[in-house]
Chain A
């Protein structure tokens, strides 16, 4: 399975942008890049996903490098509620079935007031 590499932890100030990096040098052409986050004492929640083009939604933006070997999750204005562990996951698109989620250790984001 293709692997991802993320920093163990990052810090941010409230109301400032946050850029969370992810390296996935062994990504294959059909792997989707997914981001989930897990707030304290909760199950993970979906943030965003993409294949080749940059993606935006109400929660965040996903910037994907042209060679797809890295990506960056962008939180435009961090809030205290964004403090969580962020997981970058490569989703294998298997023929006729759903690729399961393979979580690493993720990046623990701390947000300071």
Chain B
């Protein structure tokens, strides 16, 4: 049973460019969350998708957008890249609505470097 997969593993972009990161959830999961982890910090919640809709959003600008496909996979798009967007981007999947008890399964992340 494949866990959460993310692509690409590493990515280098320059300021002002746009980037798309991809995530495939664990088999049987229908909810995908995205997190940004700067060096030496804990992950910060970006947004969560369920039933192809953004259900929750953290404190991130509109340059960060996402999409969930009918097969539950997801994309994270970042426009107008800034140096401060350099980070590890983590995708996590889980199943259905819950009341704070669900377990999130994380992928290995995509390391984005903005030059």
Binding site for B on A (CB under 8 A): 30-32, 41-46, 49, 85, 87, 91-94, 96-106
Report yes or no: B108 in contact with A30, Cβ–Cβ below 8 A: no
Dominant SS at the A interface? loop
Number of A-B residue pairs at CB separation under 8 A = 70
Contacting pair A105 B41 (CB below 8 A): yes
- Indicate if B55 sits at the interface (CB-CB under 8 A): yes
Interface residues of B, count at CB 8 A = 30
Closest chain A residue, CB of each to CB of B57:
A100
CB-based nearest A residue for B33: A100
Q: Specify which chain A residues have a CB less than 8 angstroms from the CB of B35 in the assembled complex.
A: 101, 103
Query: For B99, what are the chain A residues with a Cβ–Cβ distance below 8 Å?
Result: 30, 93
The answer to whether B45 and A97 touch across the interface, beta carbons within 8 angstroms, is no
The winner among B33, B44, B103 for most chain A CB atoms within 10 A is B103
Query: Does A93 contact B45, Cβ atoms closer than 8 Å?
Result: no
